[in-house]
Amino acid sequence: MRLYINDVAVRDGFQIEPRFVPTATKVELVDHLSRTGLHKVEVTSFVSPKLVPALADANDVLAGIERVPGVVYVALVPNIRGVQNAAATTKKPDEVNGVVSASETHNRANINRTHEQSLAELPTMVKVAHDAGMKITMSLSTAFGCPFEGHVAEDMVLRFVEHFHEFGFDGVSIADTTGMANPRQVEELTRKVLERFPAPNETYYTLHFHNTRGMGLANVIAGIAAGVHSFDGSLAGLGGCNFAPGATGNICTEDMVNMLEDMGYDTRVDIAKLIACAQLIPGIVGHEVPGQVMKAGVTMHLHEIPESLRQ
Amino acid sequence: MRLYINDVAVRDGFQIEPRFVPTATKVELVDHLSRTGLHKVEVTSFVSPKLVPALADANDVLAGIERVPGVVYVALVPNIRGVQNAAATTKKPDEVNGVVSASETHNRANINRTHEQSLAELPTMVKVAHDAGMKITMSLSTAFGCPFEGHVAEDMVLRFVEHFHEFGFDGVSIADTTGMANPRQVEELTRKVLERFPAPNETYYTLHFHNTRGMGLANVIAGIAAGVHSFDGSLAGLGGCNFAPGATGNICTEDMVNMLEDMGYDTRVDIAKLIACAQLIPGIVGHEVPGQVMKAGVTMHLHEIPESLRQ
Whether A38 contacts A7, CB under 8 Å: yes
Instruction: Give exposure, B179-207, as e/b (b: 16+ Cβ within 10 Å).
Output: bbbbbbbbbebbbbbbeebebeeebbbbb
Measured between alpha carbons, how far is A162 from A138 in angstroms, rounded to an integer? 12
Which pLDDT band, with edges at 50, 70 and 90, does B305 fall under? confident
CA distances from A129 to A57, A126, A170 (A): 20, 5, 11
For every residue of B210-254, DSSP letters joined together read: B-TTS-HHHHHHHHHHHT--EEEEBGGG--B-TTSTT-B-BPBHH
What is the four-CA torsion angle of A247, A253, A256, A258, rounded to 10 degrees?
A: -130
Whether B99 contacts B111, CB under 8 Å: yes
Q: Pairing relation of β-strands A95-101 and A72-76?
A: parallel
Which pLDDT band, with edges at 50, 70 and 90, does B285 fall under? very high
Single out the residue of B234, B173, B206 nearest to residue B9, CA to CA: B234
Q: What is the pLDDT of residues B20-76, one digit of tens each?
A: 999 999 999 999 999 999 999 999 999 999 999 999 999 999 999 999 999 999 999
Measured between alpha carbons, how far is B44 from B75 in angstroms, rounded to an integer? 5
Sign of CA dihedral A16, A19, A23, A28: negative
CA distances from A52 to A12, A17, A46, A88, B269 (A): 11, 10, 9, 19, 42
Q: Which residues on chain A are in Cβ contact (under 8 Å) with B304?
A: 148
Q: Which residues on chain A are in Cβ contact (under 8 Å) with B218?
A: 183, 217-218, 220-221, 259
Q: What is the pLDDT of residues B122-181, one digit of tens each?
A: 999 999 999 999 999 999 999 999 999 999 999 999 999 999 999 999 999 999 999 999
Residue B171: DSSP 8-state: E
**CB pair distance less than 8 Å for B263 and A220:** no
Out of A147, A183, A247, closest to residue B295 by CB: A247
Write down the catalytic residue from B146, B241, B252, B277: B241
In Å, how far is A214's CA from the nearest CA of chain B?
6
Q: What is the pLDDT of residues B200-259, one digit of tens each?
A: 999 999 999 999 999 999 999 999 999 999 999 999 999 987 777 778 899 999 999 999
Exposure of B66 by Cβ count < 10 A (0-12 exposed, 13-18 middle, 19+ buried)?
exposed
In Å, how far is A301's CA from the nearest CA of chain B?
7
**CB pair distance less than 8 Å for A296 and B185:** no
Count, in order, helices (H) and strands (E) of chain B: 12, 8
Is pLDDT above 70 for B311? Answer: no
Q: What is the pLDDT of residue A311?
A: 58
A241 catalytically annotated: yes
**CB pair distance less than 8 Å for B295 and A262:** no
Q: Which residues on chain B are in Cβ contact (under 8 Å) with A221?
A: 183, 218, 221-222
For chain B, list the domains and their CATH numbers.
4-309 (3.20.20.70)
CB atoms < 10 A from the CB of A119, how many? 15
**CB pair distance less than 8 Å for A264 and B296:** no
SS3 call for B111: helix
List the pLDDT tens digit at each of the 311 positions of chain A.
999 999 999 999 999 999 999 999 999 999 999 999 999 999 999 999 999 999 999 999 999 999 999 999 999 999 999 999 999 999 999 999 999 999 999 999 999 999 999 999 999 999 999 999 999 999 999 999 999 999 999 999 999 999 999 999 999 999 999 999 999 999 999 999 999 999 999 999 999 999 999 999 999 999 999 999 999 999 999 998 777 777 889 999 999 999 999 999 999 999 999 999 999 999 999 999 999 999 999 999 999 888 877 75
